Structure 1
Amino acid sequence: MTIALWVVAGLLAVTFLAAGLMKITQPRPKLVAAGMGYAEDFSAGAMKGIGALEVLGAIGLILPAVLDTATILVPLAATGLFLVMVGAVVVHIRRTESFAAPLVLAVLALFVAVLRFSTYPF
């Protein structure tokens, strides 16, 4: 199960790092044009903030475990990413868009958070 947790955490980290960096580096109109229609509902600063949370969450999923320092940050980062994805699901439902991707990411983040908090801590 530890290997599964590492694989899921790694996939989540890559996904959130890529998505977060895109939100931080691209202007809002370019994000909308790239298919992120929900960016119309948020200010440019809010999009940058969401991107920063995703990047920090991605770093928090891997770095503390690799360095074996403050490993409690791994389930805390997973919990934070879960909450971000719950917000994303709500936004997509309100916009009557598909919410499958953020829902899957939320479930995977919850999987990491629950197991790292309880059954498989470092």
Structure 2
Amino acid sequence: MNLALWIATGLLAAVALGGGISKAFIPKENLAAHEGGRWTQDSGDGFVKALGVLELLAAVGLIMPALVDVAPVMVPVTAVCWVVLMVGAMITHGRLGQCKLVMLNSVYLVLAAFIAWGRFVLEPFTG
């Protein structure tokens, strides 16, 4: 189970890193030109950049606490925060009629919930 949790965590961290880089460093106008970035048209530049920074922090928070053994409880806490973020993403994409993105976000939500449950209950780093 520990290996499955690490694999899930690595996948979700890669997703968070990719999303964070795109939102934090790619201009909002370029994001809006793509189907998945249509939500940025009605969002402020600062809001989009802030989401990017949060996603970058999530990538770090999913991996680093366990690797350096400093506050490893932050791994499942970060996963819970990702669940909340994905609920917001699903609502946003749902309002825009982007069903494929809602389904993709639901996959990320389930992955994050698995990590949170696994690290809080099944295979915690401490205890």
Q: TM-score, normalised by structure 2?
A: 0.92
Identical residues among aligned pairs (%): 39
1:111 corresponds to: 114
1:4 corresponds to: 4
Q: CA deviation at 1:60?
A: 0.4
The size of the alignment, in residue pairs, is: 122
Paired residues for 1:38-117 under 5 Å: 38-98=39-99, 99-117=102-120
2:21 corresponds to: 21
How many angstroms apart in 1 are the aligned matches of 2:52 and 2:81?
A: 13
Q: Deviations over 1:43-62 (max 9, x none)?
A: 11110111111110110000
Give the unaligned 5+ runs of structure 1.
Answer: none
How many angstroms apart in 2 are the aligned matches of 1:29 and 1:76?
A: 33
Q: Deviations over 1:82-119 (max 9, x none)?
A: 11111000101111112111110011011101111112
How many angstroms apart in 2 are the aligned matches of 1:91 and 1:68?
A: 36
How many angstroms apart in 2 are the aligned matches of 1:52 and 1:106?
A: 19
Partner SS for 1:118: helix
How many angstroms apart in 2 are the aligned matches of 1:114 and 1:42?
A: 33
Give the unaligned 5+ runs of structure 2.
Answer: none
RMSD over aligned Cα atoms:
0.9
How many angstroms apart in 2 are the aligned matches of 1:52 and 1:83?
A: 16
Q: CA deviation at 1:69?
A: 1.2
4+ residue runs over 2 A deviation:
none
How many angstroms apart in 2 are the aligned matches of 1:109 and 1:59?
A: 14
Structure 2 letter corresponding to 1:69? V
